[in-house]
C-alpha cells in the first residue's frame, strides 16, 4: 500500500501501459502528470517534451504515434479546447493516442483549482465533423490507474484517440492504494506486403519507417490513405466501419459499476468523482426505506444505451447528478424515451455533491412520483 | 549536384499526378528542387518523411514516394517534432506555406528553431494565400494587393530569414524559383545539416498574386523575383542594408550554417544521464 495522487497514478499507469512519448504544456490541475512524466520518461528510454502550447502537444503526440510510440498528452479545459482540431485529425487518420483532460470549472479560465464535469459533451463532439471516439472516466485513484491502462489498450485496439476525463479533485486527491495488475495490449508489428491497405478494415497500425510509404492525411481518403476521387464515400465507409466495430464490441469496452440495482425504484446514474457521494447516498436512502440503486459509468462514450436500458428497466425514476448544468442527462433521457422520469441534478459552482444533497434530490423525486418508502406530508 | 533533366520519377508518387498546383505555379519548381536535392544525397526514401501543413504547399507530401503526412494548418512542425523525437533515423522535411510558417504556425517555427531539432523546413513563400483564393498573408509586401487588401496592404511583411535567424535556426537560406541552380544545393545543404534548417523559397503565384498585382504571367514573375533579389556574398553575413534599401536588393543565399547542440541528441544525452538504457527509437 502506498499513498498516491490521482495524477501520479495516471503517469505510473501510462508507464505500465508502455507509453514512451509524452508531450504537454503546464496547466492546473493536470500539471503533475507532466512533471511525473518528465522524470519517468528518460528513465525508461521514452521521450518527454514540453511543447509551446496544447495545440503543439497533441500534434507532437500524434506525430510520435506515427513514429512508432505509444503517446499521451494531458491537459485541462482551456488546453483541451485548443486540442480539438488535432483530436479530429487523430480520428480521421486512425491514430492511437491517449488524451487526459482533468476537468476544472469553466467556461474559459473558470475555476482552475476546482472540479467540474463540463467536458462530457466536448470530449464526444468537440472536434468538427462526425467521428467516433472513446471516453473513459474514473472516481478513485485506483480507477484512474486502471482506466489509464485501458485507455492505452483501447486506443491500440481500435486505432482511435481515447480521452480520459478526470477532474480537479481526483487529480489532486491522494489515496492509499495497491495497484492492480492490469493487462497491457502490446503492439505487434505485422508483416505487410505491397497490397497492404493502411486504412483498410481492421488494418493494423503501421508506423513510418516500416517500408510501406503510407500517406497520412486529415483530408477524406480511401483505404489506401490517398485523397482520391469519391473520397466522400470512402470516408463514410471508413467512419461507419469504426462505428460498427465499437457497437459490436460494446459489452467489452463499456466499464461500469453497479450497486443495489436489482429492486431499485430510483436509479442514480453517475460517472467520475460524483460516484463517490452517490455510493453513500444509496446506503442512506436504503436506510430510510427508499429503494435506491447506482449505475456508475467509467465508459461514457460510445454511449452505452443498451446498458442504461438494461439497468433501468424496472426503475420508476432516474436521477443524474453531474458537475455541470446537465449534459449526460440529455442522452440518458433520450435513451429512456419517456418510460420513466429522468431528472437532472447539476451544479457548476466548483463544489462536489454531498451524499445528503443527492439523498434530498432523490427523496424529492420519489415524493413527487409517490414512490413507496417516502413518507407523504 | 544533379543536373536538370535527370529522371526524378522514382522519388515521386505517380498515382497522385498531376499535382493540384495551377499552371505556372512555382511550387512544382520547389518540389523539383527538393527531389533533386534528395537524389543528390542518395537517401533511402523508406527513411524520409514529409510532414506538410495546409494550403498549396501542404499538398507537397502527397507527391513524394516516401512516408507522407499532411497535417493541420500551421502545425506541421509540431507533428514533425514528435515524429523525429521517437524516430531520429528519419530524415524529416517539412514543406510549409507562408501562412503555415509565418501566420498560424509561427509559434511552432520559432520553437523548433530555438530547440534546434534536426528538421528541414522549406518555406514555399508566394506572398499570398493561394488555396483559398488570394487573401493577404503576413509575407505580402506593404502596399501589395490581395482580395483582403484590395486597396493595398497596410501591414509590413515578415522577413522569414530574419525571424529564423533571430529564433536560433542553425541553417538559414533564401532562394527563389528563378534561381534553380542554387535551390537544390541549398535544400541539400539543409537536409545534410544536423539541426533546424529553414530554406525560404520565393515562389510565384500567377493565378492570384501575379494577377492582383499586375505582375504578368509566370515567366514575368520569375524575372520579377530575379530583379527584386540580390545574391549574398557566398556564406557571408547579410549586407548592412536598411529595409527601404531592400527593394531590388532582398538578399538571397546562405545566411547561416553553424553547429549548435541538436535537440534529439541533447535528449538522448538526458536519457543516458537518467539511466534510461535503451533509446526511444
**Rounded Cα gap, residues A274 and A312, in angstroms:** 19
Pairing outcome for strands A47-50 and A21-24: parallel
Confirm whether B193 is domain-assigned.
Answer: yes
Residues of chain B contacting A227 with CB distance shorter than 8 Å: 62
Ordered alpha helix ranges (H), A21-166: 31-43, 54-66, 77-92, 120-125, 141-158
The reported pLDDT for the residue numbered B280 is 44
Residue B136 counted as domain residue: yes
Size of interface A-B (CB pairs under 8 A): 150
The pLDDT mean for chain B works out to 92
**Residue B230: its pLDDT value, please?**
84
CA nearest A90 in B: which residue? B71
B277: pLDDT strictly greater than 70: no
- B199: which strand partners? B122, B173
Strands B120-125 and B171-176: unpaired
Select from A46, A61, A226 the Cβ nearest to the Cβ of B82.
A61
- Closest-CA residue of A relative to B80 is A63
pLDDT at B281 over 80: no
Option in B68, B81, B271 nearest A216 (CB): B68
Q: Is the pLDDT of residue B278 over 90?
A: no
B17 at the A interface (CB within 8 A)?
Answer: no
Burial environment of residue A181 by CB neighbours within 10 A (0 to 12, 13 to 18, 19 or more): exposed
Residue B245 has pLDDT above 80, yes or no: no
pLDDT, tens digit (0-9, with 9 covering 90-100), for B168-211: 999 999 999 999 999 999 999 999 999 999 999 999 999 999 99
A45 touches chain B (CB under 8 A): yes
pLDDT greater than 60 at residue B238: no
Q: Would you say residue B39 lies in a domain?
A: yes
A51 touches chain B (CB under 8 A): yes
The alpha-carbon radius of gyration of chain A (Å, integer) is 21
> Cis bond leading into A52, ω under 30°?
no
With bands split at pLDDT 50, 70 and 90, how would you rate the model's confidence at B235?
very low
How far apart (Å, rounded) are the C-alpha atoms in residues B76 and A82?
16
CA distance linking residue A30 with residue A28, whole number of Å: 5
- Taking the CA of residue B63 and the nearest CA in chain A, the distance in Å comes to 10
Q: Which of A18, A24, A38, A42 to mutate to test the interface with B (most CBs of B within 10 A)?
A: A42
Minimal Cβ distance to B70: which of A42, A57, A216: A216
Q: Are A164 and A10 in contact (CB under 8 A)?
A: yes
Distance from CA of A92 to the nearest CA of B (A): 11
Q: What is the CATH number of the domain that holds B263?
A: 3.40.50.970
* Parent domain of B134: 9-274
Nearest to A213 among B67, B70, B81 (CB): B67
Q: Report the distance separating Cα A69 and Cα A209, nearest Å.
A: 12
Burial of A314 (0-12, 13-18, 19+ CB in 10 A): middle
Q: Is residue B4 included in any domain, yes or no? A: no
Question: Quick check: B194 contacting A, CB < 8 Å?
Answer: no
Distance of CA A250 to CAs A254, B49, B123, Å?
Answer: 6, 37, 46
| Set of cell numbers at residue A131 | 467521428
Residues of A in contact with B265 (CB under 8 A): none
Task: Name the residue among A105, A145, A148, A80 with its Cα closest to residue A325.
Answer: A105
- Which of A49, A300, A3, A88 has the alpha carbon at shortest distance from B115? A49
**Measured between CB atoms, which of B16, B46, B83 is closest to A211?**
B46
b/e string for B159-174 if b means 16 or more Cβ within 10 A?
A: bbbebbbebbbbbbbb
Task: Find where cell 543565399 sits.
Answer: B253
Single out the residue of B238, B248, B168, B160 nearest to residue B200, CA to CA.
Answer: B160
Q: What tens-digit pLDDT sequence spans chain A (377 residues)?
A: 899 999 999 999 999 999 999 999 999 999 999 999 999 999 999 999 999 999 999 999 999 999 999 999 999 999 999 999 999 999 999 999 999 999 999 999 999 999 999 999 999 999 999 999 999 999 999 999 999 999 999 999 999 999 999 999 999 999 999 999 999 999 888 888 889 999 999 899 999 999 999 999 999 999 999 998 788 899 999 999 999 999 999 999 999 999 999 999 999 999 999 999 999 999 999 999 999 999 999 999 999 999 999 999 999 999 999 999 999 999 999 999 999 999 999 999 999 999 999 999 999 999 999 987 665 54
Burial A34-51 (b: 16+ CB within 10 A, else e): bebbeebbbebbbbbbeb
Q: Does B10 touch chain A (CB under 8 A)?
A: no
pLDDT in tens, B19-35: 999 999 999 999 999 99
Phi, psi of A38 (to 5 degrees): -65, -30
Name every chain B residue with its beta carbon within 8 A of the beta carbon of A52: 78, 107-108, 111
pLDDT tens digits, one per residue of B48-71: 999 999 999 999 999 999 999 999
Does the residue B1 lie in any domain?
no
Q: Is residue B3 part of a domain?
A: no
Q: pLDDT for B120-170, tens place per residue?
A: 999 999 999 999 999 999 999 999 999 999 999 999 999 999 999 999 999
Among A53, A62, A226, whose Cβ lies nearest the Cβ of B82?
A: A62
Q: Note the pLDDT of residue B234.
A: 53
**Residue B132 to chain A, least CA–CA distance (Å):** 16
Q: Is B87 on the interface with A (CB under 8 A)?
A: yes
Whether B120 is covered by a domain: the verdict is yes
Domains and CATH numbers, chain A: 2-177 (3.40.50.970), 257-369 (3.40.50.920)
Query: Considering its fold, how many domains does chain B have in total?
Result: 1
How far apart CA A86 and CA A105 sit, in angstroms, is: 23
B62 chain-A contacts, CB cut-off 8 A: 215, 217, 226-227
Contacting residues of B for A56, CB less than 8 Å apart: 75, 78, 81, 107-108, 111
Q: How many Å from the N-terminal Cα to the C-terminal Cα in chain A?
A: 49
* B280 is a domain residue: no
B208: its cell numbers: 492570384
Q: Which ipTM was obtained for this model? A: 0.97
Residue of B nearest to A207 (CA): B67
The pLDDT of residue A172 is 98
Q: What pLDDT, on a 0 to 100 scale, did the predictor assign at position B236?
A: 47
Instruction: Check pLDDT > 90 for residue B1.
Output: no
* CB within 8 Å: B86 and A215: no
Amino acid at each position: 500500500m502506498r499513498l498516491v495522487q490521482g495524477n501520479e497514478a495516471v503517469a505510473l499507469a501510462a508507464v505500465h501501459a508502455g507509453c514512451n512519448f509524452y508531450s504537454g504544456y503546464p496547466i492546473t490541475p493536470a500539471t503533475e502528470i507532466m512533471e511525473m512524466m518528465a522524470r519517468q520518461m528518460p528513465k525508461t528510454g521514452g521521450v518527454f517534451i514540453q511543447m509551446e502550447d496544447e495545440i503543439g502537444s497533441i500534434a507532437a503526440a500524434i506525430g510520435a504515434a506515427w513514429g512508432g510510440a505509444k503517446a499521451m498528452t494531458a491537459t485541462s479545459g482551456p488546453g483541451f479546447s485548443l486540442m480539438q482540431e488535432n483530436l479530429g485529425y487523430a480520428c480521421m487518420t486512425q491514430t492511437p493516442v491517449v488524451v487526459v483532460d482533468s476537468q476544472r470549472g469553466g467556461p474559459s479560465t473558470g475555476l482552475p483549482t476546482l472540479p467540474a464535469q463540463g467536458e462530457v459533451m466536448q470530449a464526444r463532439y468537440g472536434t468538427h465533423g462526425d467521428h467516433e471516439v472513446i471516453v473513459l472516466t474514473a472516481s478513485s485513484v485506483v480507477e484512474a490507474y486502471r482506466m489509464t491502462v485501458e485507455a492505452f489498450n483501447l486506443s491500440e485496439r481500435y486505432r482511435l484517440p481515447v480521452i480520459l476525463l478526470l477532474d480537479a479533485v481526483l487529480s489532486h486527491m491522494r489515496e492509499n492504494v495497491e495497484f492492480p495488475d492490469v493487462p497491457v495490449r502490446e503492439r505487434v508489428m505485422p508483416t505487410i506486403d505491397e497490397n497492404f491497405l493502411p486504412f483498410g478494415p481492421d488494418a493494423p497500425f503501421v508506423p513510418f519507417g516500416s517500408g510501406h510509404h503510407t500517406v497520412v492525411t486529415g483530408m477524406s481518403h480511401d483505404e489506401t490513405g490517398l485523397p482520391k476521387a469519391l473520397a466522400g464515400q470512402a470516408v463514410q465507409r471508413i467512419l461507419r466501419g469504426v462505428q460498427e466495430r465499437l457497437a459490436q464490441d460494446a459489452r467489452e469496452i463499456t466499464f461500469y459499476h453497479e450497486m443495489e440495482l436489482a429492486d431499485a425504484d430510483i436509479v442514480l446514474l453517475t460517472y467520475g468523482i460524483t460516484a463517490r457521494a452517490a455510493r453513500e447516498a444509496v446506503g442512506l436512502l436504503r436506510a430510510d426505506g427508499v429503494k435506491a440503486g447506482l449505475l456508475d459509468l467509467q465508459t461514457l462514450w460510445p454511449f452505452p444505451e443498451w446498458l442504461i436500458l438494461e439497468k433501468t428497466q424496472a426503475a420508476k425514476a432516474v436521477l443524474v447528478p453531474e458537475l455541470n448544468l446537465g449534459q449526460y442527462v440529455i442522452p440518458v433521457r433520450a435513451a429512456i424515451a419517456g418510460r420513466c422520469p429522468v431528472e437532472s441534478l447539476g451544479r457548476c459552482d466548483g463544489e462536489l455533491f454531498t451524499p445528503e444533497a443527492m439523498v434530498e434530490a432523490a427523496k424529492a423525486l420519489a415524493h413527487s412520483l409517490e414512490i413507496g418508502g417516502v413518507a407523504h406530508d | 549536384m544533379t543536373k536538370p533533366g535527370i529522371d526524378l520519377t522514382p522519388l515521386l508518387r505517380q498515382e497522385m499526378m498531376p499535382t493540384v498546383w495551377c499552371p505556372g505555379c512555382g511550387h512544382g519548381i520547389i518540389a523539383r528542387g527538393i527531389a533533386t536535392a534528395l537524389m543528390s544525397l542518395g537517401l533511402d526514401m523508406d527513411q524520409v518523411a514529409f510532414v506538410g501543413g495546409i494550403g498549396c504547399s501542404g499538398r507537397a507530401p502527397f507527391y513524394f514516394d516516401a512516408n507522407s503526412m499532411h497535417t493541420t494548418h500551421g502545425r506541421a512542425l509540431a507533428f514533425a517534432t514528435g515524429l523525429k523525437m521517437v524516430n531520429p533515423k528519419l530524415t524529416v522535411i517539412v514543406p510549409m506555406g507562408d501562412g503555415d510558417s509565418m501566420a498560424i504556425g509561427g509559434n511552432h517555427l520559432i520553437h523548433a528553431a530555438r530547440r534546434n531539432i534536426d528538421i528541414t523546413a522549406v518555406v514555399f513563400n508566394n506572398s499570398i494565400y493561394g488555396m483559398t483564393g488570394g487573401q493577404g498573408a503576413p509575407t505580402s509586401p506593404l502596399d501589395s494587393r490581395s482580395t483582403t487588401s484590395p486597396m493595398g496592404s497596410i501591414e509590413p511583411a515578415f522577413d522569414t530569414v530574419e525571424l529564423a535567424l533571430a529564433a536560433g535556426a542553425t541553417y538559414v537560406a533564401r532562394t527563389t524559383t528563378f534561381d534553380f541552380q542554387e535551390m537544390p544545393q541549398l535544400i541539400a545543404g539543409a537536409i545534410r545539416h544536423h539541426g533546424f534548417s529553414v530554406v525560404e523559397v520565393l515562389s510565384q503565384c500567377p493565378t492570384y498574386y501575379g494577377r492582383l498585382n499586375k505582375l504578368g504571367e509566370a515567366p514575368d514573375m520569375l524575372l520579377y523575383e530575379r530583379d527584386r533579389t540580390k545574391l549574398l556574398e557566398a556564406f557571408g553575413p547579410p549586407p548592412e542594408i536598411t529595409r527601404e534599401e531592400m527593394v531590388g536588393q532582398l538578399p538571397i543565399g546562405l545566411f547561416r550554417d553553424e553547429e549548435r547542440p541538436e535537440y534529439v541528441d541533447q535528449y538522448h544525452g538526458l536519457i543516458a544521464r537518467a539511466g534510461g538504457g535503451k533509446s526511444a527509437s
